Amino acid sequence: MWLGSKSTSLLILAVTASACARLMLASFHDTEGPNLIVVAGLTAVLLLISAAAYLSNAFSSLTGSKRSAAAIVIQVVVAIGLFLALR
Domain parsing of the chain, residue ranges: 5-86
Predicted TM-score (pTM) of the model is: 0.84
What pLDDT, on the 0 to 100 scale, is given for residue 56? 85
Q: Residue 12: what are its φ and ψ, rounded to 5°?
A: -65, -40
Show pLDDT as tens, one digit a residue, over the chain (87 residues).
Answer: 444 577 888 899 999 999 999 999 888 888 887 888 999 999 999 999 999 988 888 777 877 788 888 899 999 999 999 999 988
Total residues found in the chain within this entry: 87
At 71, which amino acid appears? A
Angle, CA of 8, 11 and 16, to the nearest 5°? 125
Asked if residues 46 and 76 have their Cβ atoms less than 8 Å apart, the reply is: no
| pLDDT value, residue 47 | 94
pLDDT of residue 4: 58
Cα–Cα distance measured from residue 51 to residue 71, given in angstroms and rounded to the nearest whole number: 7
